[in-house]
Structure 1
Amino acid sequence: MEQRRLGGSGLSVSRLGLGTMTWGRDTDQHDAREQLKAFADAGGTLVDTAAAYGNGESEKLIGALLDSAVSRANLLIATKAGGGRPGGPGRVDVSRRALLDQLDDSLDRLDLDYVDLWQVAAWSDAAPMEETLGALEHAVTSGRARYAGVSNYAGWQTAAAAVHQRAVAGTQAPLVSTQVEYSLLERGVEREVLPAAARLGLGVLAWSPLGRGVLTGKYRSGTPADSRAATTHFAPFVDKYLDARSAKIVDAVCTAADGLDALPLEVALTWVRDRPGVAAAIVGARTAGQLRDVLGSDDLELPAEIRAALDEVSALELGYPEGVAPGSRP
């Protein structure tokens, strides 16, 4: 699997990342082990988790599998602190105390001395930005994290944080990444987050590149009983994309897949994986079988005409000021 540099750092990550949001809850230890082995065998290196995933159960499961299933030396472990997933339960707290306490807890669950990438999971006005970023600096200088990043930051927040870190003399923790939702169904980050990341040297880690599972095409005829949308804890997460606009985009993806003799998920994933600025697309699979389908996309390249058609059907509406052409202002 291709390895890509993460932003302007010297760290390289696999262009597909293994997401573990369901581990320890919907994905048991047997399936997790099979996923981790298959991912590593395919050349994957980036494993993404968070303190909030399954209330820590995801990190515990990863810790139990490291070295016993795959050598720690062959993986890059990324985790997050500060809050739950967007739209999910849990209070956001990005104070220095909360972040560093969560990092210590994460390391205990992972049974590690350090993580390769530590990320603030969300922005909060309840803590000064300088305090939050100071916690990242302390984590790196104390050896508990190798690199630092942010997640789910708006464009101005991304820019403010990255510029602040650059301005701190002698900083050991410049931001190297931003993790955001990005798919054919959610292209909002193209307005300001992606331009900010490109200008300031942050690699983009795209979460939910399959549109929370909707771009697999599994919901075209209803809600399968074994799908995420059929569970009480994930139904609100998926329902956002069970609308008419999304259905039109899913139809286009399925048409493209038929023409390429590929799976819809392979087409949708490849589109995100190769967008400008994307270092890795992070995909979470509930079962090992689902992950094998995901890994099958690694050799797929989208023809220019198909990419253009998908760009058009999912086009993002831009208004003032992002969508105003240079020279058109008075």
Structure 2
Amino acid sequence: MEQRHLGRSGLRVSRLALGTMSWGRDTDADEAANQLLAFTDAGGTLVDTADVYGDGESERILGSLLDQAVPRDHIVLATKAVARRDEGPFGGGASRAALLTALEGSLRRLGTDHIDLWQLHAWDATVPLEETLAAVDAAVSSGKVRYFGVSNYSGWQLATAAARQHAVPSGTPLVSTQVEYSLVERGVEREVVPAAQHHGIGLLPWAPLGRGVLTGKYRNGTPADSRGASPHMAPYVEQHRTERAARIVQAVVTAADGLGTSPLAVALAWVRDRPGVVAPVVGARDTAQLAGSLAAEAVELPPAIQAALDDVSAVELGYPERPLG
């Protein structure tokens, strides 16, 4: 699998990341082990989790597999903090105390002494940004964190955090931002993508398959074994089951038929090769699903198909994203 630099950093990661949001909930430890082995056997290195996935079980499962199934130094280990884990005073948020408490918990569950990429899961408007970023710098200087990223930041939030880190002599550079990005969700192209490119920040798209919609599986209903049929995931999928999305899905299916590949591979290849993108984060219920994403590594979209998909999924840009004419 091709390796890419994460933003302007020296860290190299596979151009596909393995997401583990379902581990410990819909994916058990045995299936997780099979996914991790399949991913690393294909040349994958970047594995993404979070302290709140499966109430911490995702991290525990991943930690149990490091060194037993896959050597720790073969993995670029990414996790997140900030989201609310419990109701205690340090159970969530981006305060110094909450972040450093969360870090210790992640290290314990993962069974490691450092995190390769530590990400702030969301913006916390109740905490001064200077406090949040100073906590990140402390985590890095302690050796417990190697690189720093964010997730779900708007354009101005991303630019503000990056500029602060550039301005502070001891500031840890912000190297990545994880955002929802796919053919059915291109809103980040308005301000997040330009901000990331200006500051040399790599994009890690989550839900690159439009929460499963871009696979085409929902065109004729809701399969019983799909996320859309799951009580806790149905609202997550439903957001992209729109008339606009249906037109985009049909274009993806048509492109896949013409290329002799799957709609999944077309949708994944499209976002993988967008400007600024480093590695889409793909999650799978089982190894068979993951195999479909790994197969996309061999797919390169012809310029004409890229252009057609760009057109059918284009988002409207207006003032101030588009300069006045």
- For the aligned pair, the TM-score class normalised by the smaller chain equals over 0.9
Deviation of 1:170 (Å): 2.7
Match of 1:319 in 2: 318
Residue identity matched to 2:41: D
1:206-225 matches, cutoff 5 A: 206-225=205-224
Deviation of 1:286 (Å): 0.8
Matched residues in 2 for 1:22 and 1:84: separation? 18
1:104 corresponds to 2:104: yes
Deviations 1:210-240 (A, max 9, x none): 0011101110111111111111111111110
TM-score by length of 1: 0.95
1:148 corresponds to 2:148: yes
Deviation of 1:96 (Å): 1.2
1:87-102 matches, cutoff 5 A: 93-102=93-102
Deviation of 1:45 (Å): 0.2
Match of 2:2 in 1: 2
Deviation of 1:324 (Å): 2.8
Q: Secondary structure at the match of 2:280?
A: strand
Q: Is the 8 A contact 2:92 2:99 kept in 1?
A: no
Match of 1:125 in 2: 125
Q: Secondary structure at the match of 2:279?
A: strand
Q: Is the 8 A contact 1:206 1:282 kept in 2?
A: yes
Sequence identity (%)? 62
Q: Is the 8 A contact 2:22 2:53 kept in 1?
A: yes
Match of 2:178 in 1: 179
1:10-29 matches, cutoff 5 A: 10-29=10-29
Deviations 1:161-194 (A, max 9, x none): 00000100133x1111111110001001100111
Matched residues in 2 for 1:84 and 1:93: separation? 7
Match of 1:276 in 2: 275
Matched residues in 2 for 1:30 and 1:289: separation? 14
Runs of 4+ in 1 over 4 A off after TM superposition: none
Match of 1:72 in 2: 72
Alpha carbons of 1:192 and 1:92: their partners in 2 closer, same or farther (altered >3 Å)?
farther
Q: Is the 8 A contact 1:84 1:121 kept in 2?
A: no
Q: Is the 8 A contact 2:16 2:279 kept in 1?
A: yes
Matched residues in 2 for 1:221 and 1:71: separation? 43
Q: Is the 8 A contact 2:107 2:113 kept in 1?
A: yes
Matched residues in 1 for 2:132 and 2:228: separation? 34
Q: Is the 8 A contact 2:80 2:118 kept in 1?
A: yes
Deviation of 1:305 (Å): 0.5
Q: Is the 8 A contact 1:254 1:264 kept in 2?
A: yes
Match of 1:228 in 2: 227
Alpha carbons of 1:294 and 1:84: their partners in 2 closer, same or farther (altered >3 Å)?
farther
Q: Is the 8 A contact 1:47 1:75 kept in 2?
A: yes
Match of 1:30 in 2: 30
Q: Which deviates more from structure 2 when the two are superposed, residues 266-275 or residues 24-33? A: 24-33
Q: CA RMSD in A?
A: 1.2
Deviations 1:254-279 (A, max 9, x none): 11000001010000000000001001
Q: Is the 8 A contact 2:84 2:93 kept in 1?
A: no
Deviation of 1:92 (Å): 5.8
Matched residues in 2 for 1:72 and 1:270: separation? 28
Deviations 1:43-79 (A, max 9, x none): 0000000001111010000011111111111110000
Match of 1:88 in 2: none
Q: Is the 8 A contact 2:21 2:58 kept in 1?
A: yes
1:239 corresponds to 2:233: no
Q: Is the 8 A contact 2:92 2:98 kept in 1?
A: no
Deviation of 1:323 (Å): 2.0
Matched residues in 2 for 1:143 and 1:201: separation? 23
Q: Secondary structure at the match of 1:280?
A: coil
Q: Is the 8 A contact 1:53 1:84 kept in 2?
A: no
Q: Secondary structure at the match of 2:83?
A: coil
Match of 1:166 in 2: 166
